[in-house]
Structure 1
């Protein structure tokens, strides 16, 4: 007798003992009296003892049946308690949530949202891994990951956070010393700063061609290759050269005049996106569900995550 059959048989036995007959037990369970009788007979065979004495009119428990009924009630009450606990946790989620994100996004956007999350759901605890590497959900046992790029995996649920648009920018001090490039071709005469991903690939700079196609700029002559997008922004603000940087990193410097935007009409801002991902599951844990919903709402309220390149026209170098 497997576990499912055993539970079904125990329910039949307890109902028959409580209701006094197979027929009454059958009505309570929504099955036939013959099924109740078969379930109890199978349970007795599996246990190797008789639990009930039956006549055409009455049922009476054997000594073994009375002892088993007491333990069966304890087991069924434990199942009810487990169900109640799961329902209660849905209303008051508890437990640890393990999350992975990049260092820059984690510091600027995730960390400020965490105090509010924990205040709203005091039963939660959060463990965050600040790392730019790609993680393995199964091996690393994360509940969710926040990452950016071209998201193609179909094995995860992906919830969009924002588009990761890029701009070409430079500090006013650099432009005053070296001039303002009027088109992509003139960038070859300037000091360029580029982003190198952890896998060694250099982030492409793309521009629109005359026919609407996209043309990649050769940045092999770049003076600085940096793996940290935050450091890339800082070096650009310091006047080290011209860089392609993410708007969410650059916006505060653009608005204060520490950076000027270049070549808005011809530069392609990219089709990358930032997403919050978690594995497909039939029933997502309440602790994960409320964390996902809270963080997405918090990110939606951050203006710099949703500012587009086209809206920065007033900050373009002239």
Structure 2
């Protein structure tokens, strides 16, 4: 009974989080039809519509929104109670090795480790902060978090969140050099550029006349391999930088950065994913994966839409 209740509630919660049966099915490793059926059974048992459905969209009803807030808490409590009564806490002991890039590890993973330790004190979490491509078997990792354009592989990938980009500069820089109002104004400005490990530079993209066009700076004032360094340099007034929204948001909220060309700058189609080698994860690894997924799928910096940044425009 409990197992069925867990699955039904989880199907509803994941559908609400992801906004579609297909994305929820991917996260749960089920078929969209199975997720849709579970949500339908829940609606039938509650005798209320939780989602408004059209051929193109899926959105929570007022009743669904009310139920979601309480269902998430209820599911977590049910899981904890079942684990405690079943004596299953012993399963959540041992080492879990996680590979994550430096900037993502520092800014997104480290902040959620305290609650993970509190819930599973017998776990030994080992984080390897590396940007290199790893071999799961050879290097002995249980989980990997990566961001960017993730190539197809034999690994199982669960999308945690989109990785939106924004174009920014500090108020001091803009006061000295002026605010670019068009893409054509950018060559007169100082650029802070990111260079990847393969020595390629990251171009900026803009929407112009219905097309997506790259812009590559001819004049590079500063070049970094670390996006966090780009954010710090922009906030210090060194130039214009393209950085992930989750890095920019704290600076935007304290007026240390401003958004530029938000009406035409392309936020990118990068993704943050959690990868592992096999579907049948050991309990000690599964609880870490689910904790990371729950934390990062609700992270404000990852789920701030580019349109919402207009309030921070220069």
TM-score (normalizing by structure 2): 0.70
Q: Could you tell me how far 1:302 is from its partner in structure 2? A: 2.0
Bigger Rg, which one:
1
Please point out which of 277, 283, 288 is paired with 1:286. Answer: 283
Structure 2 contact 147–163 (Cα < 8 Å) conserved: yes
Q: Could you tell me how far 1:153 is from its partner in structure 2? A: 2.0
Q: Could you tell me how far 1:140 is from its partner in structure 2? A: 0.7
**For 2:220, what is the secondary structure of its paired residue?**
coil
Please point out which of 252, 255, 258 is paired with 2:256. Answer: 258
Partner residue, 2:271: 273
Q: Could you tell me how far 1:89 is from its partner in structure 2? A: 5.4
Structure 1 contact 171–239 (Cα < 8 Å) conserved: yes
Q: In structure 2, how many angstroms separate the alpha carbons of the residues matched to 1:91 and 1:263?
A: 53
**For 1:223, what is the secondary structure of its paired residue?**
strand
Q: Could you tell me how far 1:152 is from its partner in structure 2? A: 2.2
Q: In structure 2, how many angstroms separate the alpha carbons of the residues matched to 1:218 and 1:170?
A: 17
Q: Could you tell me how far 1:201 is from its partner in structure 2? A: 1.1
Q: In structure 2, how many angstroms separate the alpha carbons of the residues matched to 1:163 and 1:88?
A: 37
Q: For the aligned residues, what is the CA RMSD?
A: 1.5
Q: Could you tell me how far 1:308 is from its partner in structure 2? A: 1.8
| Runs of 4+ with >6 A deviation | none
Please point out which of 213, 218, 221 is paired with 1:220. Answer: 218
* 1:259/1:142 CA distance change after superposition, 3 Å: same
Structure 1 contact 92–123 (Cα < 8 Å) conserved: no
Q: Could you tell me how far 1:207 is from its partner in structure 2? A: 0.4
Count how many residue pairs are aligned between Structure 1 and Structure 2. Answer: 229
Q: Could you tell me how far 1:88 is from its partner in structure 2? A: 6.1
Structure 1 contact 92–121 (Cα < 8 Å) conserved: no
Partner residue, 2:311: 314
In structure 1, list runs of 5 or more residues that go unmatched.
Answer: 1-86
Partner residue, 1:229: 227
Structure 2 contact 187–218 (Cα < 8 Å) conserved: no
Partner residue, 1:103: 102
* 1:273/1:148 CA distance change after superposition, 3 Å: same
In structure 2, list runs of 5 or more residues that go unmatched.
Answer: 1-85
Superposed, 1:189-208 pairs within 5 Å as 189-208=188-207
Q: In structure 2, how many angstroms separate the alpha carbons of the residues matched to 1:88 and 1:248?
A: 39
Q: In structure 2, how many angstroms separate the alpha carbons of the residues matched to 1:151 and 1:276?
A: 10
Partner residue, 1:159: 158
**For 2:291, what is the secondary structure of its paired residue?**
helix
**For 1:267, what is the secondary structure of its paired residue?**
coil
Q: Could you tell me how far 1:220 is from its partner in structure 2? A: 3.1
Q: Could you tell me how far 1:90 is from its partner in structure 2? A: 7.5
Superposed, 1:129-140 pairs within 5 Å as 129-140=128-139
**For 1:92, what is the secondary structure of its paired residue?**
helix
Structure 2 contact 168–260 (Cα < 8 Å) conserved: yes
Partner residue, 1:187: 186
